[in-house]
Structure formats: C-alpha cells, structure tokens
C-alpha cells in the first residue's frame, strides 16, 4: 500500500540531490517528470537520453530506496501546431524507449488543452497519436498511462473509456484521479462521479493520483493535498482497494511541510477500508 509523490514537488534540483530528498521524506517511489524535476541535465528536447544516462538516474534513486513508478511528461498531444505536436510525440516515444532503464513500468500523460474547445478533428488526431504511442510501448514492453482531466480533450471518465475502446491496445492503462473529474457543478454528487470512474475504468487502472478538492466560498472548486479538502477518500480508497489492490498512489499538490500529514492520511484510510 505504497504512497509516492510527484518528484517535482521538491523543486527542480540535480538528480543526485533529489534522490536523498525523497528518501528523507519517507517516500519509496515517485512520478518523475525529467524536465520538471531534474535541473542538471537539459531534457528540453528529444535525443538527450541513452541507456547509460537513464540507468545512472535510476540507480541513483535505487541507491536511496526510491523507485520510479511513473515517468511523467506534461506534453500537449493535441497541439494544433503540427510541428510542435510531432516534437511532443517524439519526446514521449523517447521516454517509452528508455523507461526500462529507469526501472519505470509506464509513461503517463494527460491529453492536453486547446483554447476555445475541441473539434472532431482534434479527437481523430489524439486517436492516431495514442495508437502511435501504444505501438511504441508494445515494442519496449511498457505501458502508456492515460489520465482524464477536466478541460483536456479527454476530460471525463466516459471520454477516457471511449478513447480506450477506439484504441484497443493492452499496453494502454489508466492513471485514475477522481480529483481531476470534479467540477463545481458535480461536486455535490461526487460519489456518483467516483463510482462511474471505477465502473468504466477500474479494470484498466495501472496507477493512481491523490489530490483533494473542496468548494470555496465563491462557489469555485479548490484544490489541496489529500486530507486537506472534502473529497470522499473513504470511497476512493475502498474502490481502489477493490479494483486494484496495492496499485501505486502518487500524491499531488502537497508542499514539503504537508507531505507527511497527507501521506499518513491516505495510508490510514487505505489500510482500513
């Protein structure tokens, strides 16, 4: 029942400094986004990675008892600038090729946002992109982790279920995050939102994210570390245990001085439901 963390919540630092920071905070695994968390190597363009570099980073974390459960990318896969989109796709595919040298079983992403809304053409582009990524993942024996997030092309559980049906690859899995599916409008029926997500996606989950949500005084929906809001974590952890016992959970949103409390909150609920 391991709870990890987004590595870049500790800032952007040299990877040899990041590893002991995570270990000292009590984490045994993490989600690593190279260009957000590692400061001493320029990962801003494709072509930087090699088996030696990926192994060196993975071994440094392993030396401190920290594994890389997820490689994150934070790239817009539906960018309408085709040149930029191809750069993003190639960067993602590079992570897939080298994931095993990091010791990571998956590379995960949210589809991306487009100002002004989406068209059928954007959906078709994302389908083709996901199929391309899945083909690459199949070559290297790793997973593509797809996460739904409000405001993105794939923003709801039904949309993610539809995308999985239209791109049928067993190398695509789901990164579940009910907090991403909440809005100010649906928060009052959050239990239905959580249950729907597991009904539609539960069997495909390969990792989980943990943040909290709450309605603010102005009626908007706020975000906070797990345990600092009013999302139904009892239900979330119960269903996560039911569908995917021992799946890795990655904490989001927490500042360093909140991490221990948030981690204990998640682990406490997960251990009893």
Torsion of CA 19, 267, 171, 204, to 10 degrees: -160
The mean pLDDT of 174-196, rounded to a whole number, is 98
Q: Where are the beta strands (DSSP E) in 73-118?
A: 106-110
Q: What is the C-alpha separation between 23 and 15, in angstroms, rounded?
A: 13
**CATH for 259:** 3.20.20.150
Q: What is the pLDDT of residues 258-267, one digit of tens each?
A: 999 999 999 9
Residue 175 pairs with which residues in a beta bridge? 207
Q: Phi first, then psi: give them for residue 38, nearest 5 degrees.
A: -110, 120
Tokens of 254: 């927490």
With a CB cutoff of 8 Å and minimum separation 6, the contacts of 168 are none
Q: What is the pLDDT of residues 221-256, one digit of tens each?
A: 999 999 999 999 999 999 999 999 999 999 999 999
Place 25 in a pLDDT band, splitting at 50, 70 and 90.
very high
Q: What is the pLDDT of residue 123?
A: 97
- The span from the CA of 244 to the CA of 242, in Å, is 6
* Confidence (pTM): 0.97
Number of domains in the chain: 1
**DSSP strand pairing (106-110 vs 205-210):** unpaired
Average pLDDT over residues 93-107: 98
Contacts of 66 (CB under 8 A, 6+ apart): 19, 22, 23, 27, 28, 29, 30
84-87 CB contacts, 8 Å cutoff, 24+ apart: 85/125, 85/129, 87/45, 87/46
pLDDT single digits (tens) 73-83: 999 999 999 99
Report the candidate in 140, 73, 58 with the shortest Cα–Cα distance to residue 109. Answer: 73
Residue 44 — very low, low, confident or very high, per pLDDT cuts 50/70/90? Answer: confident
Question: What is the extent of the structural domain holding 193?
Answer: 3-272
Contact, 22 vs 32, CB < 8 A? no
Q: How many residues does the chain have?
A: 273
At 46 the pLDDT is: 85
Per-residue pLDDT at 1: 53
């Amino acid at each position: 029942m391991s709870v990890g963390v987004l590595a870049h919540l500790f800032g952007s630092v040299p990877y040899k400094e990041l590893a002991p920071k995570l270990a000292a905070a009590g984490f045994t695994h993490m989600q690593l986004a190279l260009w957000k968390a590692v400061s001493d190597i320029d990962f801003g363009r494709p072509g930087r990675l090699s088996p030696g570099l990926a192994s060196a980073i993975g071994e440094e974390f392993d030396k401190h008892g920290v594994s890389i459960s997820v490689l994150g990318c934070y790239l817009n896969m539906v960018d309408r600038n085709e040149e930029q989109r191809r750069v993003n796709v190639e960067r993602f595919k590079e992570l897939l090729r080298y994931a095993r040298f990091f010791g990571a079983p998956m590379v995960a992403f949210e589809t991306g946002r487009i100002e002004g809304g989406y068209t059928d053409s954007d959906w078709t582009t994302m389908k083709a992109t996901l199929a391309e990524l899945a083909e690459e993942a199949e070559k290297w024996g790793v997973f593509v982790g797809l996460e739904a997030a409000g405001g993105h092309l794939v923003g709801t559980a039904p949309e993610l279920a539809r995308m999985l049906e239209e791109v049928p690859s067993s190398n695509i899995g789901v990164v579940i995050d009910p907090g991403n599916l909440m809005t100010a409008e649906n928060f009052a029926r959050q239990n239905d939102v959580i249950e729907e997500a597991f009904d539609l996606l539960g069997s495909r989950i390969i990792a989980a994210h943990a943040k909290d949500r709450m309605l603010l005084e102005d009626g908007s929906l706020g975000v906070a570390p797990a345990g600092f809001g009013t999302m139904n974590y009892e239900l979330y952890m119960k269903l996560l245990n039911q569908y995917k016992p021992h799946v890795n959970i990655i904490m989001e949103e927490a500042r360093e001085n909140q991490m221990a409390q948030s981690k204990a909150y998640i682990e406490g609920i997960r251990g009893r439901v």
